[in-house]
């Protein structure tokens, strides 16, 4: 049931015969405004098979208009690029949105699309910003150098949009770099004989394995040579068309520096995290979830659905337990996913979209790169780590953006081990704050220590090498609320679609464990560890088992026990380090495999009990 759920509906169809207008551009160049302007409100969102990415589709006159994820080039380095590549390959015309402030970066993609022989029209966007930066661009010259029409636009204020619309029929194939390089032209011509189009031929020359496979050819290795010539050509064009550069010394340049310099960057980051905590940890986790989970789902929805189901199915039956029992599919799973997780996920993605669109996120990555490097990660891992405080399951999915398998294993282990998710965090804060600052500091210090030590350890023992940071720092901008909301919606929806079925499966497993008596057996099994080694009351074992089901259940289970402050601290540390919840575990299996997930699982058990016991010895 759960395994092929993801792709079963809204599958994107690129094979239909309609004429396709594809919007292409680097990340954050304002493509969505063009999409909305062209298509109006009637758009469809469809999932791209095999990924969490969604493609928005609409209509303009007789064109099907397709949006693509922001990419720096057409190839297959990651999910975004694979999706963008496939959609671009199906294009009849491409509207390439280019950031006028970042021609160096953006024109590389432009030139690649031109080289593919696809008719293009360019929207040279952010013209207002280019002017503010003292940049003067010779648009006619740019158009003649590239051989395609260039329309200057400032999409945010609607400037140039109607001109672009009116010029769509002028889109054409531009000046390919191959025209001036005889050797390459020959290679392309030869490849052209074996394929059905220049775009296929070019990507095979550039070593794209998927396309080569389609033609049963071996991918060629001329990528670097072609990229080098393309880069040279782009630099040449820029030298010819851009002038009057006054090196940015404005407010943005200063702020940009402050964000990456530790002296100012760390306080800025702490302020940002504080705002994040206030939004997610206080406002959403307490106020909003109080309304959605407790007031709505627990008090109105659950009694309603219990009542409804119990009319048809006898209350004592296994089916009834499965559907509406303590861990039922229609009760716990639904309440958990929509009442608790959804508000948190929306809040997190909203905050992250703002960080992303403002250009602050990559600067945080640069700031923390040094610290994360010693844990075998690089600065980019800050994104899943931040998300982990919202929901480890969501964060685990995001580790896909990391550069190597090794980094993913480290990140997933650290997420499962030492990052308390927001559901748990709320309960923990409630338990530990009455004990006084000393215990709070012990808690934070121990977790931080475990986090750093485990990362360092994994970095030492895991074979291979982690990738280095190499990221583009986009200009700082005030995010557009429409874009932020849109991103939040798409990502939250994708998360629920991915994680929802897994929570259902988790609910089923737990119900089975409970009904067969295995749950009680496990409780008795771990009792010696809890009493003997951790020096905690025997009832804590129940909380631990609950913690497997849901991390905050575990922490909440400690609430009712009479313990000394030291015992509470030990119990909280152990339960934080203890295994990730069953949903996170299922996602780990899905993202990695059974073997690694099990290793991570037992690794967490082991670490949790060792550390808990050690802390119990010392305090």
Partner 1 sequence: MTLAEVRRGERFNIKYIPDDLVRVQALRFGISEGAVLSCHEKVPGGPVIIKRNLQEIAVGRNLASNIIIEKEN
Nearer to partner 1, 18 or 261 (CB): 261
Kindly list the distances between the CA atom of residue 263 and the CA atoms of 63, 226, 277, 489, in Å, as whole numbers in the listed order: 52, 42, 22, 35
Kindly list the distances between the CA atom of residue 203 and the CA atoms of 15, 82, 85, 192, 218, in Å, as whole numbers in the listed order: 20, 12, 10, 11, 12
Q: From the list 147, 475, 479, 538, which residue makes contact with partner 1 (rule: CB under 8 A)?
A: 475
Q: Considering the rule CB under 8 A, would residue 125 count as an interface residue with partner 1? A: no
Task: Provide the mask over 439-468, with x wherever binding to partner 1 is found by CB under 8 A and - wherever it is not.
Answer: -----------------------------x
Nearer to partner 1, 243 or 559 (CB): 243
Q: Considering the rule CB under 8 A, would residue 231 count as an interface residue with partner 1? A: yes
Q: From the list 248, 479, 537, 613, which residue makes contact with partner 1 (rule: CB under 8 A)?
A: 248
Task: Provide the mask over 104-123, with x wherever binding to partner 1 is found by CB under 8 A and - wherever it is not.
Answer: xx--xx--------------
Segment contacting partner 1 by CB under 8 A, of 146-154, 229-237, 271-279, 435-443: 229-237
d(CA 237, CA 245) in angstroms, rounded, equals 15
Residues 1-60 that bind partner 1 (CB under 8 A): none
Cβ atoms 196, 155 nearer than 8 A: no
Minimum CB separation of residue 89 from partner 1 in Å reads 19
Q: Considering the rule CB under 8 A, would residue 132 count as an interface residue with partner 1? A: no
d(CA 102, CA 81) in angstroms, rounded, equals 20
Residue 54 assigned ligand-binding role: yes
Helix (H, G, I), strand (E, B) or coil at 477: coil
d(CA 82, CA 437) in angstroms, rounded, equals 50
H helix runs in 67-138, sequence order: 79-89, 103-115, 127-132
Give Cα 37 to chain centroid, integer Å.
27
Nearer to partner 1, 368 or 505 (CB): 368
Residue 68 assigned ligand-binding role: yes
Residue 190 assigned ligand-binding role: no
DSSP per-residue codes, 392-405: HHHHHHHGGGSSSH
| CB within 8 Å of 126: residues ≥ 6 apart | 29, 30, 99, 100, 101, 154, 155
End-to-end CA distance of the chain: 48
Segment contacting partner 1 by CB under 8 A, of 174-182, 369-377, 494-502, 558-566: 369-377
d(CA 379, CA 434) in angstroms, rounded, equals 35
Instruction: Return the structure tokens found at 450.
Output: 């475990």
Residue 36 assigned ligand-binding role: yes
Minimum CB separation of residue 45 from partner 1 in Å reads 28
Q: Considering the rule CB under 8 A, would residue 136 count as an interface residue with partner 1? A: no
Kindly list the distances between the CA atom of residue 209 and the CA atoms of 144, 213, 219, 603, in Å, as whole numbers in the listed order: 34, 6, 5, 37
Segment contacting partner 1 by CB under 8 A, of 174-182, 226-234, 507-515, 581-589: 226-234
Minimum CB separation of residue 70 from partner 1 in Å reads 13
d(CA 434, CA 443) in angstroms, rounded, equals 13
Q: Considering the rule CB under 8 A, would residue 135 count as an interface residue with partner 1? A: yes
Q: From the list 2, 173, 313, 473, which residue makes contact with partner 1 (rule: CB under 8 A)?
A: 473
Place of tokens 């990528």: 223
Q: Considering the rule CB under 8 A, would residue 133 count as an interface residue with partner 1? A: yes
Known binding site for Mg(2+): residues? 36, 39-40
Known binding site for GTP: residues? 25-32, 50-54, 67-70, 125-128
Residues that bind partner 1 (CB under 8 A): 72-73, 77, 101-105, 108-109, 133, 135, 223-224, 227-228, 230-232, 234-235, 238, 242, 245, 248, 256-257, 260-262, 265, 362, 365-367, 369-370, 373, 378-379, 468-473, 475
């Amino acid at each position: 049931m759960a395994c092929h759920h993801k792709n079963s509906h809204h599958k994107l169809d690129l094979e239909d015969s309609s004429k396709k207008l594809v919007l292409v551009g680097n990340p954050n160049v304002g493509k969505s405004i063009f999409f909305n302007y062209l298509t109006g409100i009637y758009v469809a969102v469809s999932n791209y098979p095999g990924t969490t990415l969604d493609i928005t589709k609409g209509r303009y006159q007789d064109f099907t208009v397709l949006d693509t994820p922001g990419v720096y080039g057409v190839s297959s380095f990651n999910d975004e690029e694979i999706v963008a590549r496939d959609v671009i390959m199906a294009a009849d015309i491409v509207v390439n949105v280019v950031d006028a402030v970042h021609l160096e970066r953006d024109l590389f993609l432009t030139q690649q699309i031109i080289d593919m022989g696809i008719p293009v029209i360019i929207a040279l966007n952010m013209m207002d910003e280019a002017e503010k930066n003292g940049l003067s661009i010779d648009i006619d010259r740019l158009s003649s150098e590239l051989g395609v029409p260039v329309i200057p636009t400032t999409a945010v204020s609607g400037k140039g949009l109607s001109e672009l619309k009116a010029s769509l029929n002028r889109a054409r194939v531009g000046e390919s770099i191959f025209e001036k390089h005889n050797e390459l032209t020959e290679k392309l011509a030869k490849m052209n004989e074996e394929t059905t189009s220049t775009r296929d031929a070019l990507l095979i020359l550039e070593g794209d394995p998927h396309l080569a496979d389609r033609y049963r050819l071996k991918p060629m290795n001329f990528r670097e040579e072609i990229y080098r010539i393309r880069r040279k050509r782009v630099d040449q064009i820029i030298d010819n068309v851009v002038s009057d550069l006054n090196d940015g010394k404005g407010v943005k340049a200063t702020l940009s520096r402050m964000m990456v310099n530790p002296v100012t960057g760390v306080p800025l980051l702490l302020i940002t995290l504080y705002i994040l905590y206030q939004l997610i940890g206080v406002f959403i986790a307490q106020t909003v979830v109080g309304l959605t989970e407790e007031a709505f789902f627990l008090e109105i929805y659950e009694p309603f659905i219990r009542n409804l189901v119990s009319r048809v199915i006898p209350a004592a039956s296994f089916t009834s337990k499965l559907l509406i029992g303590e861990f039922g599919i229609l009760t716990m799973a639904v309440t958990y996913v929509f009442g608790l997780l959804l508000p948190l996920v929306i809040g997190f993605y909203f905050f992250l979209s703002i960080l992303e669109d403002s250009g602050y996120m990559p600067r945080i990555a640069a700031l923390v790169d040094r610290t994360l490097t010693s844990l075998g990660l690089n600065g980019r891992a800050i994104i899943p780590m931040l998300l982990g405080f919202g929901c480890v399951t969501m964060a685990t999915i995001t580790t896909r953006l990391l550069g190597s398998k090794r980094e993913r294993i480290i990140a997933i282990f650290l997420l499962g081990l030492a990052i308390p998710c927001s559901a748990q965090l709320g309960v923990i804060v409630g338990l530990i704050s009455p004990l006084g600052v000393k215990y709070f500091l012990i808690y934070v210090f121990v977790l931080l220590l475990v986090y750093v030590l485990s990362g360092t350890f994994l970095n030492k023992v895991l074979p291979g090498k982690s990738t280095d940071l190499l990221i583009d720092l986009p200009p700082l901008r005030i995010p557009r609320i429409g874009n932020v909301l849109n991103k939040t919606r798409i990502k939250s929806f994708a998360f629920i679609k991915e994680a929802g079925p897994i929570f259902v499966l988790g609910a089923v497993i737990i119900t089975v464990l409970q009904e067969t008596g295995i749950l009680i057996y496990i409780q008795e099994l771990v009792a010696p560890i809890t009493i003997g080694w951790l020096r905690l009351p025997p009832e804590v074992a129940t909380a631990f088992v609950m913690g497997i089901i849901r991390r905050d259940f575990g922490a909440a289970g400690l609430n009712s026990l009479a313990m000394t402050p030291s015992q509470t601290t030990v119990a909280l540390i152990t339960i934080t380090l203890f295994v990730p919840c069953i949903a996170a575990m299922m996602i780990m299996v899905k993202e990695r495999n059974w073997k690694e997930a099990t290793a991570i699982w037992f690794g967490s058990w082991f670490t949790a009990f060792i550390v808990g016991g050690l802390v119990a010895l010392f305090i």
